[in-house]
Amino acid sequence: MKRNTLFVEVSAARPYDPAVIALCAEQRAELAGASAGHRDAAVDSLGLRPDVSFLVARADTEPVGCAGLQFLEPGVGEIKRMYVRPAHRGQGISRLLLDAIERLARDRGALTVRLETGDLQPEALGFYQFSGYVRIPHYRPYVGSALSLCFEKRL
């Protein structure tokens, strides 16, 4: 049996890079479908702000995933818009992105990284917990969000 080898590169991108915009829009559409009837402010916004540093994963030059880093306060970063296109899931790309965004956070002085994900995303929950993230109380702006689950990892 012949195995295909996929070359994946993770590199920095600006929040308004066309690849970031496309990937975040796809993520928003997927989340909106998963939570039909449960609209949430986090789903309504792409979260593309100049203070979010993005990384894009490219498989053979095609953008297939992204992750962003925003600082909440000194020493505390938040992972934003972690996403891999469905056709490229299960190939280790999420792991590459998470490792790279954690490395970026550490390089920029973060001691802790937080993230928010939805309660309707069991694959994401398992992935983050397997990666060392522990559940924490809601932090701003997710306080009071019935669909949000918040996690944290000490770097």
> For 91-141, how does the pLDDT look when each residue is reduced to its tens digit (9 = 90+)?
999 999 999 999 999 999 999 999 999 888 889 999 999 999 999 999 999
Q: What percent of the chain has pLDDT over 90?
A: 74
Winning range, highest mean pLDDT, from 26-30, 35-39, 101-105, 119-123: 101-105
Determine the Cα angle at 15 with ends 83 and 93, to 5°. 25
Residue 17, CA distances (Å) to 13, 22, 56, 61, 121 in order? 6, 9, 10, 15, 26
Residue 37 has pLDDT above 70, yes or no: no
Nearest to 121 by CA among 152, 93, 91, 82: 82
Say if CB 77 and CB 55 are below 8 A apart.
no
In whole numbers, what is the pLDDT of the chain averaged over residues?
A: 88
Q: Indicate the DSSP class of residue 37.
A: T
pLDDT digit string (tens) for 47-72?
578 889 999 999 989 999 999 999 99
Residue 1 has pLDDT above 70, yes or no: no
Nearest to 133 by CA among 94, 89, 84, 85: 94
Residue 3 has pLDDT above 70, yes or no: no
Q: Residues 6 or more apart from 78 whose CB is under 8 A from it?
A: 69, 70, 71, 72, 113, 114, 115, 116
The residue-averaged pLDDT of 68-92 equals 95
The band of 31, judged by pLDDT with boundaries at 50, 70 and 90, is confident
The residue-averaged pLDDT of 61-85 equals 96
